[in-house]
């Protein structure tokens, strides 16, 4: 009974750490099929956990971002090191959000084939802020460029005015030199 209680406590702890993690967590086979998923990921995708298992993860990726995902898997397989990518995922209701995937390979042993462990984070807010920052940066650059042109034009006008003033002073000086003394 003591071992059963300890086992039950450890299962609850594992469930709390895995299923209720603050990020989505999935385990994929090398072909990209979902072997395991936590409740956070299921909630993120608005799908019951049972409907995720044994389905290709790629079915949740926006079609324009599929190549990013397959490149991510290739790099993971080829280099066997942690890989990160950003792409867009589509929820069951069609809502699209920006996600960051961070994946590692779980080495194959005699019993289990190689698996990919992937953290999925919703980075939509970060993406919105980066997009706004890039837009503001571009606007600022345009304003600086416009102001630089205006200043250059003012400098040219100022130089012309100085030149005209110098010529007028020289002319006045000549005029004064040749004016008969009264």
pLDDT of residue 131: 87
% of the chain residues with pLDDT over 90? 66
pLDDT: which is higher, 159 or 175 = 159
Average pLDDT over residues 138-166: 92
pLDDT: which is higher, 179 or 122 = 122
pLDDT of residue 53: 96
Picking from 63, 73, 120, the residue whose alpha carbon sits closest to that of residue 94 is 63
Residue 132, CB-side half-sphere exposure with 13 Å CA sphere: 6
pLDDT: which is higher, 46 or 131 = 46
pLDDT of residue 109: 63
Sign of CA dihedral 22, 27, 33, 38: negative
Query: Using the 8-state DSSP alphabet, how is residue 54 labeled?
Result: T
Picking from 63, 71, 122, the residue whose alpha carbon sits closest to that of residue 98 is 122
pLDDT of residue 5: 85
Strand order, beta sheet including 96-106: 34-37, 24-28, 115-122, 96-106, 83-90
pTM attached to this predicted model = 0.70
> Contact 27/36 with Cβ under 8 angstroms?
yes
pLDDT (tens digit per residue) in 57-89: 999 999 999 999 999 999 998 888 999 999 999
pLDDT of residue 77: 87
pLDDT over threshold 80, residue 111? no
% of the chain residues with pLDDT over 70? 96
Q: Which element (helix H / strand E) includes 37?
A: strand 34-37
Distance, in Å, from the CA atom of 91 to the CA atom of 97, rounded to the nearest integer, reads: 8
pLDDT (tens digit per residue) in 9-55: 888 888 778 888 889 999 999 889 999 999 999 999 999 999 999 99
């Amino acid at each position: 009974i003591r071992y059963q209680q300890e086992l039950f406590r450890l299962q609850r702890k594992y469930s709390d750490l895995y299923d209720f993690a603050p990020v989505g967590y999935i385990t994929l086979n090398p072909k990209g099929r979902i072997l395991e998923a936590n409740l956070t990921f299921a909630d993120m995708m608005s799908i019951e956990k049972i409907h995720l298992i044994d389905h290709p993860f790629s079915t949740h990726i926006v079609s324009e971002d599929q190549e990013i995902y397959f490149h991510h898997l290739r790099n993971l397989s080829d280099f066997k090191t942690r890989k990160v990518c950003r792409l867009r995922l589509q929820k069951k209701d069609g809502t699209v959000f920006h996600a960051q995937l961070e994946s590692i390979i779980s080495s194959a042993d005699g019993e289990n084939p190689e698996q990919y462990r992937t953290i999925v984070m919703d980075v939509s807010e970060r993406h919105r802020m980066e997009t706004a920052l890039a837009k503001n940066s571009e606007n600022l650059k345009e304003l600086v460029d416009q102001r630089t042109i205006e200043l250059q034009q003012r400098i040219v006008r100022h130089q012309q005015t100085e030149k005209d003033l110098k010529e007028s002073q020289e002319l006045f000086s000549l005029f004064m030199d040749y004016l008969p003394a009264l």
